[in-house]
Chain A
């Protein structure tokens, strides 16, 4: 490591409407180090990295690159200075080849810039792939590649900017253990070449394997920077910091409660294979697993959003022929999608319209007319009860914060009086304060005798909420653990089925 940091950020501040995303954040990065950035969702990791990569502009503070003050007004400016970012969601065009994707916007041209020189693109891409020891034909269309290989293409793309600094945001979220090893080999090699790497992840074991130093963020502040050998429980304490709300670990005994939802042998292709479980009244059942393990797919099958090939579903002991979301809702199942904006809300419509969307029939006069007075009354009641922060029920949903949007979706299903509620990533994109409120709401709903399924990629969240946890891996349920005494490691073992790698290092 050299003595002068390649990146030196001091007292960085960034405010979004209603949220202080970064509050006097400082951060150092040296050549040839892997610097892990940890923290809960909403802690400010991504915001900090997006400022480094020129996606956002800071409101205050200073940023030095190689000792010189810099400001990046856009991503191109950051790229020109050798900062590359591999985003959590891949930004590739599936119909174009790997080479075309990597050099998009910077194509080599011939004949005065009118024609794309495909051969040159392929050749330059091959060089990048060789550097990464990647066996891949640059002409392969992206849609034919696995997620892991697409990730490698993203890394190659980031490197194609002659990057001295590489930011990786949760790069292993969709990778299996072998692919993770592959990725780590590449990271080691880049580090040896002197590239400085920022590595954002939730996974303790990975971070301790790959990184040199760890910086922990919480609520928009940097809590501290520690060596990677620091015991895990100490890092977790830094991440969580505050006392977790005490409401969760009070697990009532539901064994005497009737079974509300029973699922038997649910199967769809390779995505979901022979999934069976029972959900009792008042119970919160967690679904844990890595991205792509099939949890969302199970929810969509139960909800009729996709068609199941095999399997049966009972509600209150009665078999249900669920073929569409409409059937599921009639049967009393509500689904709160992981993707609120695309699948949960009509964001261009007012709060009141969204809340009443699945219960409109209740306010029909003569089968056709909407009784808007009573409809608005009901919507207002729910807005008050769930404490949705909105100037009025006629406010466009798009203008609400993530937490309040989620409350609108919850209100929609409460109004419909669903007995089974499936929460898919209930707090994704929701700030820390609102999270606690959503957790309390979920607990209250269970206490009222509803059956709740919580799908979450955040292990602490699953552990916090669930009375019982099912773990999935590659379409199968690989295990069940009690919410009382489950540990993150136990769940990770089941979620990856790769014991040796997920063993905690001596803590």
Chain B
């Protein structure tokens, strides 16, 4: 059982902590490579192109960022069903600030992220102070925020055409000027930056330490004299803020805030987290795993589309892959 240790050992000097973490990442990474190899062999001319790879990266960003947000919550043995709709709500509020309110982008961006953090904090307070289980609290928030998005926009999209440079947040490429051979879109760079930030927070800070500890044994943490409720609120706040980043990314890509969009993204995000080896029962999970999980999802969708598999069958296959991923993870755990 020793290799179930997927916890944040700050310095992986010992065999046990080291091999556990590495094994899990290797397995997920091997699956990702296997998928890429299969599609490359089956459709070499269409799949193995720079354009297609950049397309895959681009399409991973939004769900990927939402999955990063969900990773924190899921490691605490919680769940956040509101991330998809919260992303849209943030985009809508960003639109209200920048389009309707005419605020400049340098102010609009922090407002968008701040709205996400605030909503996350509210979820956290509902969970800790009102003691509503995370599933119900965030289900309620999901419905509530979806309604609010539609009310605020009167169910009409907000277009960002007049906000100069807004499109560049996701679609432009600063990298193109810096490193011409690697013309990554900004959205992808932002996803990578958020992932690095999440990695640092989860593994190097006290918030990350408590995230694992709460998921591992909440009551023991409370009886150690830690203010569990306060840290939980912070964790949901952080997740909400990250959803704000996703809101910016999707609004920029569509150059609009689409109030009806968002529902369903939370399940894709949870799927990516779970494929990445994070346990829904808490205490276990990695950022690298989540990133790989998100890529597995989008490589699968992309590859199947290139193979001209009907969308209905894509869904069937994705469902099977999720079950298979968690099953193999279980096998690995019990054998080890």
Contacts and interface: CB of A to CB of B under 8 A. Distances in A.
B207 interface: yes
A329 B7 CA distance: 26
A344 B226 CA distance: 13
A233 interface: no
Contacts of A360: 206, 209-210, 226
A396 B4 CA distance: 9
A337 B14 contact: no
B50 interface: no
A412 B224 contact: yes
B10 interface: yes
B205 A329 contact: no
Of B4, B206, B222, B225, the most chain A CB neighbours within 10 A belong to B225
B16 interface: yes
Interface residues of B, number: 34
B212 A396 contact: no
A349 B227 contact: no
Interface in B206-256: 206-207, 209-210, 212-213, 216-217, 219-227
Contacts of B7: 348-350, 353, 396
Contact of A345 (B12, B13, B205, B217): B217
Nearest to B282: A348
Main secondary structure of the interface of A (DSSP, over half): mixed
A80 B222 CA distance: 45
B217 A346 contact: yes
Contacts of A347: 216-217
A251 interface: no
A346 B283 CA distance: 9
A129 interface: no
Interface in A343-402: 343-350, 353, 357-358, 360-361, 364, 368-370, 372, 375-376, 391-392, 394-396, 398-399
A30 interface: no
Given A350-B9, A353-B213, A329 B204 contact: no
A412 B302 CA distance: 50
Contacts of B226: 325-326, 357-358, 360
A392 B14 contact: yes
A468 interface: no
Nearest to B16: A395
Contact of B225 (A330, A345, A350): A330
Nearest to B217: A346
A391 B223 CA distance: 27
Given A353-B213, A369-B205, A335 B9 contact: no
B212 A353 contact: yes
B225 A416 contact: yes
Interface string A323-342: 01110111000010100001
Contacts of A199: none
A329 B225 contact: yes
B224 A329 contact: yes
Contact of A342 (B1, B4, B219, B227): B219
Interface in A247-263: none
Contacts of A343: 217, 219-220, 223
A395 B12 CA distance: 11
B284 A348 contact: yes
A399 B1 contact: yes
A287 interface: no
Given A349-B7, A399-B1, A328 B225 contact: yes
Contacts of A350: 5, 7, 9, 17
A346 B11 contact: no
14 contacts: A325-B222, A335-B223, A344-B223, A346-B283, A347-B217, A348-B4, A349-B212, A353-B7, A360-B206, A361-B206, A370-B204, A394-B12, A396-B2, A399-B2
Interface of B: 1-2, 4-5, 7, 9-14, 16-17, 204-207, 209-210, 212-213, 216-217, 219-227, 283-284
